[in-house]
Amino acid sequence: MHSFQQYINGSFEDATDHFDSIDPATGAVWAKMPDASVKDVNRAVEAAESAFFSSEWASMTATARGKLLMRLAEFIAEAAPRLAELETRDTGKIIRETSAQIAYVAEYFRYYAGLADKIEGAHLPIDKPDMEVWLRREPIGVVAAIVPWNSQLFLSAVKIGPALAAGCTVVLKASEEGPAPMLEFARIFDQAGFPKGVLNIITGGPDVGATLTSHPSVAHVAFTGGPETARHIVRNSAENLASTSLELGGKSPFIVFDDADLESAVNAQVSGVFAATGQSCVSGSRLVVQASIKDEFIARLKEKAEAIVIGAPNDMKTEVGPLCTKRQRDTAVRLINRSVEQGAILLTGGHAIDGDGYYFPPTILDCDGAPDADSLSNEFFGPVLSVVSFKTEAEAIAIANTTQFGLASGLFTQNLTRAHRMIRAIRAGIVWVNTYRVVSPIAPFGGHGLSGHGREGGIEAALDYTKIKSVWLRTSDDPIPDPFVMR
């Protein structure tokens, strides 16, 4: 039985309580995780606050912060295989994905390492002749970062990287479902040489999140997860008036016109909805396909879906592993059954796989005869695709925008003018054209509506962790006149 520790103020320690972590591939307990108490949360925030105001961190130059982040990036790259194994064991995400993704996580820290001393202020051409006015960008303070279990290292990098580059300190709450890679990441961070308390990593249930997000010393909350939890966070932030950045769920449309390269589009759709076992906020879970090519597209897609290798997540041959939790699997079955009752046609998959673990096959539902099917509006967080067809461009836009989410979208067409029209019309924070599910540290990532607000990635993310200070300097040597002497 493995046992993990929390990381507070530069020290690894056991929590008062622990909880079991389940291996999704077997359904068996494999590790004990620290269950932070309210007292632990308060100590972590106090450590972050003390570090924020300490001379060691507060007086460190931005260039020096960047060098520490660069060193951290190198350590992450070296430790990527170990981190990948832990993420696969604790979440069920297949090893071929965790290995590639975690290796790329180092690039996010390298990007923010280089950006640390390029977060600039501005000089204002003020309308007062005897004044010089400029703006300073300063770190916002202690950041509460909360990440879900899927892609924890990536979703942490897009918060920790820009926050530390800006000069903030962080308390990160890892998901209680699969926290092993983040608790191991703490050991790698500890080796990089940051001052104590700059980053603290804890995990636990709802009380941990509520205490953290409402703590009076927290200045900003960066959250990735579902809309319902986000609503609680916003309510909690009313206590400390912390600013928030919320990267939430999605029900992304994957739009294919009849002039698209069908082989490319089919492959992108397979990757977009079945990769990561569908457990991705940008999953292209709504196929919006032109009616004239619907049958051919679905035939190709169904053939590829049914050929996908389902198996143990630590096997490099596996293409789809288990879902992370039994609750997810049960939810998928319930929503699919309900959608079929509402008129959707099950084309493949749709039933839990017997045996150990939380395995669920790639599933396709034809919803042309069921426009109100649950599968079209609910985020499954599993390998489930709902298909609807359209005849005209206007109809495609209407279908794409029939959602309260607004995170990502995909568009496949060879018509350049149509592509530009669609880009303007689709209400989503990301539009991928003739590609899908591509990310980079240079490009902002985020949505609107129930998909949240704020951006992660790019310089925009770093600016979210700063506040503006206006500085006025009087340049005249003349005495300031007495305001109460009449002239």
As a whole number of angstroms, the distance between CA 368 and CA 365 comes to 9
Task: For the chain, give the number of residues.
Answer: 487
Backbone angles phi, psi at 255, to 5 degrees: -100, 125
Those residues whose C-beta lies under 8 Å from the C-beta of residue 452, and which sit 6 or more positions away, are 227, 230, 245, 246, 247, 248, 407, 446
As a whole number of angstroms, the distance between CA 26 and CA 276 comes to 18
What separation in angstroms does the CA of 252 have from each of 47, 338, 389?
40, 21, 15
Contact 403, 377 (CB under 8 A): yes
Q: How many CB atoms lie within 10 A of CB 205?
A: 11
Unique residue bearing structure tokens 């129930």:
450
- Give yes or no: 247 in active site: yes
Residue among 184, 247, 379, 456 flagged as catalytic: 247
As a whole number of angstroms, the distance between CA 233 and CA 213 comes to 6
- The closest of 241, 224, 66, 36 to 145, measured between CA atoms, is 224
SS3 content of the chain, % helix, strand, coil (to 5): 40, 20, 35
Rg of the chain over all Cα atoms, to the nearest angstrom: 25
Tokens encoding 28: 């068996």
As a whole number of angstroms, the distance between CA 393 and CA 422 comes to 8
Q: Which residues are catalytic?
A: 247
